[in-house]
Structure 1
């Protein structure tokens, strides 16, 4: 890097550059590749949602929206997305955001000061670490055991003196979900230690087990400590629309809103009308996509079971497998590059934390033929 350019960067930018785990999705120069790397549904956005935006543009919804969100979308969120918790919410509990990413970053910057401590799972989505570094805070990591269980005694010890805990539910990259019993343990730790909790529910609605998805919004004792971030990207195949929302305690929402309005401003009006339509009318199409992801999960599991060198747990949500492979095959960055040369793109485990040094993330948010062929190509690298 040019030294003069480096020297003009802020301390926050330099912290992110020096510590960020985030990497590129593709490696240049590879042809005939199959991507199992991208966390993006391959389905089109439901037609009713597209039609709603086109109609909104034609009707003149081309001007500024209220900072916290248009009433059409806020009301739809209150009616469709959070009413299931049985709790009383109002518009003060809602902030419409520029996708899930802006909601997450605005929350972190709105609540965290330099020197604060944030609890973060390892492995987990890499964006959180960048936001924490931007805020000048530090991280304490915790992990699930080999059986997928949390060490709540260890988390409780780490919570001493911390300010915030961030959870991804269902998990990116492991697909693990948090049960109601586990939520009760988290609620106890949060309330006793005076923590705040940011729960990223980007994959809400994409679970495949017998037990229903349990949102953090539905847990007694958390409401005064909680912000939940959701997005339309995954459930409704709206990644390019950049539309999300926060639900939480009004003081926490207000803090996030101050940050969000500074670097984003209000979300465009027509997209918000489309988002309200998704919540009110696209549930059946979203369920069809979920069922397809379920079939693809089972197909990828069947394919992966033929590779003797790896181990993994069946994901209960999202659309990822988290694979552990022998350390003798090298670190995940090198192995992902080798896989790319073999014609299959995967995400390196190190992007999600130190525990991913010898792990890879595979996405089954693609067609069945790509799953079969991609895993076959990866299998040749892993044997």
Structure 2
């Protein structure tokens, strides 16, 4: 494992902490609150998974598990989660992690040395930048244009001398997915420059109109790839803290070294429940996905009633990325005003500098909250 930088910027840590506390204070101060901010399914974990965990505890699954994961879960991942795409994968290509977050952070700490360059989309999930800062790396950002297109010439230029590309697919916060043509361009860049791709597929299984192509299915990427997945979103298991990595064996080994230093082995009974989710909860996951698609369509229809905003249809996850006129203020200002009006949203700047005049809205909530929440926001943005 590559050691973290001995001189992490305290200013960066304090800035993130201050912004987080400010967001929590806004939510706590609001009355008659409606939240379009939370990235968590509002469903209960499927009963078949709960029953499996209870039975596992009764059967003695109360001891340490292997650092890389219990055989029941590793085999279920190889059978159900990797499937045909994982032809040739084995247990050495799998690491069970303390949620998706720990898998992502362990990968970054295992690969990045102080000064290494990481390519990161703007906007994207903020945890990646936190991990890169922790490792002492530096970041170059790339963004989609107004048509939703990536400039692969610019990415190719920035890839010279870089070590890692981090992708969120489907995207948090935009809901965008990576097309087959885009995957081909990423694969070409990675192979020519000898980079690694860390692909966060936390929202795999929550896609709607367009076909989802996993990074595991992209030809030629295997030697350059590590994929992070979680049970949190697809199976409504956020509180279980269970995820896994799939990738090239040496990359997995580096991540495993980092992971065991700050997590150790994962709850044995939860792993048995995770295996059950993969093998037996597919119908439950599909029912939830269909509800999210209905909610996606509802939020889209509500947003189209608001003039002077810009957004693209969400293809995956459960978010809309909403751009509003600059004169209304920064996203922190608008999020604060929205909280005072009784609707919580996530400020765009949390996800990158392109979010200065943007908000992330979640439709992982009931239809009444979507309608009323967007209506309150509409009055603010009018």
Partner of 2:10: 14
1:224 Cα deviation after fit? 0.5
Partner of 2:100: 100
CA contact (8 A) 2:86 2:216 kept: no
1:309 Cα deviation after fit? 2.1
What stretches of structure 1 of length at least 5 have no aligned partner?
A: 1-9
Equivalent of 2:20 in 20, 23, 33: 23
1:16 Cα deviation after fit? 4.1
Partner of 2:277: 278
Q: Distance in 1 between matches of 2:172 and 2:29?
A: 28
CA contact (8 A) 2:197 2:224 kept: yes
Q: Distance in 2 between matches of 1:97 and 1:84?
A: 23
Partner of 1:194: 194
Q: Distance in 1 between matches of 2:244 and 2:267?
A: 13
Can you list the C-alpha shifts for 1:124-165, whole angstroms capped at 9, x where unaligned?
000000000000010000001110011000100010100000
Tell me the TM-score normalized by structure 1.
0.96
Q: Which runs of 4+ in 1 moved over 6 A?
A: none
Q: Distance in 2 between matches of 1:291 and 1:247?
A: 27
1:23 Cα deviation after fit? 2.8
Can you list the C-alpha shifts for 1:309-340, whole angstroms capped at 9, x where unaligned?
21100010000000000000000001000000
Is 1:322 aligned to 2:321, yes or no? yes
Please give the secondary structure, in 1, of the residue aligned with 2:8.
helix
- Residue 45 and residue 287 in structure 1: after superposition, are their counterparts in 2 closer, same or farther (change >3 A)? same
1:19 Cα deviation after fit? 5.8
Partner of 2:350: 351
Partner of 1:363: 362
Q: Distance in 1 between matches of 2:373 and 2:202?
A: 25
- Residue 130 and residue 304 in structure 1: after superposition, are their counterparts in 2 closer, same or farther (change >3 A)? same
Q: Distance in 2 between matches of 1:152 and 1:32?
A: 46
Q: Distance in 1 between matches of 2:14 and 2:130?
A: 10
Q: Distance in 2 between matches of 1:314 and 1:279?
A: 29
Partner of 2:181: 181
CA contact (8 A) 1:339 1:381 kept: yes
Please give the secondary structure, in 2, of the residue aligned with 1:374.
helix
CA contact (8 A) 2:78 2:86 kept: no
Q: Distance in 2 between matches of 1:16 and 1:229?
A: 25
Can you list the C-alpha shifts for 1:14-57, whole angstroms capped at 9, x where unaligned?
26415649635542221111000000000000000000001111
1:111 Cα deviation after fit? 0.3
Partner of 1:112: 112
1:217 Cα deviation after fit? 0.5
Partner of 2:268: 269
Alignment length, in residue pairs?
A: 374
Partner of 1:216: 215
Over the aligned positions, Cα root-mean-square deviation in angstroms equals 1.4
1:362 Cα deviation after fit? 0.1
- The 5 A counterparts of 1:148-163 are 148-163=148-163
Is 1:88 aligned to 2:88, yes or no? yes
- Residue 132 and residue 19 in structure 1: after superposition, are their counterparts in 2 closer, same or farther (change >3 A)? farther
1:180 Cα deviation after fit? 1.1
Q: Distance in 2 between matches of 1:365 and 1:83?
A: 28
1:85 Cα deviation after fit? 1.1
1:87 Cα deviation after fit? 2.3
